[in-house]
Amino acid sequence: MTSVTDRLIELHGITKTYGQGQAQFQALKGIDLSIDAGDFVAVMGPSGSGKSTAMNILGCLDVPSTGEYHFRDVQVEQLDRNQRALLRRHYFGFVFQGFNLLARTSAQENVELPLLYRGESTKTRHSAARAALDKVGLSTWADHTPAELSGGQQQRVAIARAIVTNPVLLLADEPTGNLDTKRSHEIMELLVSLNRDQGITVLMVTHEPEMADYAKRVVTFVDGKIAADKRQAGIGYVLE
């Protein structure tokens, strides 16, 4: 049984409404969700189901209309914009479908960006970025720009950038959406290794069942509600 201290995230009655009057749309309709430290959760659902809205709220990129969001001992929905930014900067890492790398800078410099925002020294940034690139198998590509890297390598750089701050939670939004099948599986194996071997909690939005098979848990959204929440073995994990 999971103890309270293992609980990383708690959502209670989360709703999200956009617009007013006849244009009003309720994207989330009372979400209750718990995520434990060290879990790997895949979030699935059709377009418009609320999964991306939920991800934005979990990543402090948006705030709920009603309900409570607890991250460890912090009641997130009560934080102001600057406090949410600090929470993101110190505890979260983000990976997006489109890589979002700076085109004219090297892999090394792209990975250093979050540390630059933190005000870390040049020596600290260089050392941490090299270590992060090594973790994703790209230490020899540090001086290459995105144009000199394959799609899979670009996503690895994006993952290195996400983990360079040693985040507690890695939020991945369709991380394999722009990749071919082989590269997609390579990225999923990397996410599994970060979760399994380094204990980083992973929350991933995907529309691909093959990619969701790597997760230890699949949460399915339909019409703004959680329709299913199931545990599974997860590819790459040893059954206990």
The mean pLDDT of the chain is 93
Do residues 102 and 158 lie in contact, with contact meaning Cβ atoms separated by under 8 Å?
A: no
pLDDT at 239: 61
- Over residues 98-146, the pLDDT tens digits come to 888 999 999 999 999 999 988 899 999 999 999 999 999 999 999 999 9
238 within a domain of the structure (yes/no)? no
Tokens (6 digits) for 13: 């009655």
pLDDT of residue 212: 97
Number of domains in the chain: 1
CA distance 11 to 68: 6
- How many Cα atoms are found within 13 Å in the side-chain-facing hemisphere of 33? 32
Residue 85 lies in a domain: yes
208 pLDDT tier (thresholds 50, 70, 90): very high
Mean pLDDT of 70-92: 93
Assign 32 to helix, strand or coil. Answer: strand
Flag whether 52 is in a domain.
yes
Q: pLDDT at position 3, please?
A: 45
Domain assignment present for residue 237? The answer is no
Q: Tokens in use for 183?
A: 């590269």
- pLDDT over threshold 80, residue 5: no
What is the pLDDT at residue 2? 44
Whether 236 is covered by a domain: the verdict is: no
pLDDT in tens, 144-181: 999 999 999 999 999 999 999 999 999 999 999 889 99
Q: What is the CATH number of the domain that holds 165?
A: 3.40.50.300
Note the pLDDT of residue 140. 95
Query: Which residue shows structure tokens 């979990």?
Result: 58
Whose CA is closest to 62, among 28, 112, 109? 28
- Note the pLDDT tens digit of each residue in 41-69: 999 999 999 999 999 999 999 999 999 99
Q: How many residues does the chain have?
A: 240
Supply angle C-alpha 27, 30, 36, rounded to 5.
Answer: 105
Q: Which domain holds residue 165?
A: 4-231
User: Three-state DSSP class for 216?
Assistant: coil
Is the per-residue pLDDT at 1 higher than 50? no
Contact present, 179 and 152 (Cβ < 8 Å) = yes
- For residue 117, what pLDDT is reported? 85
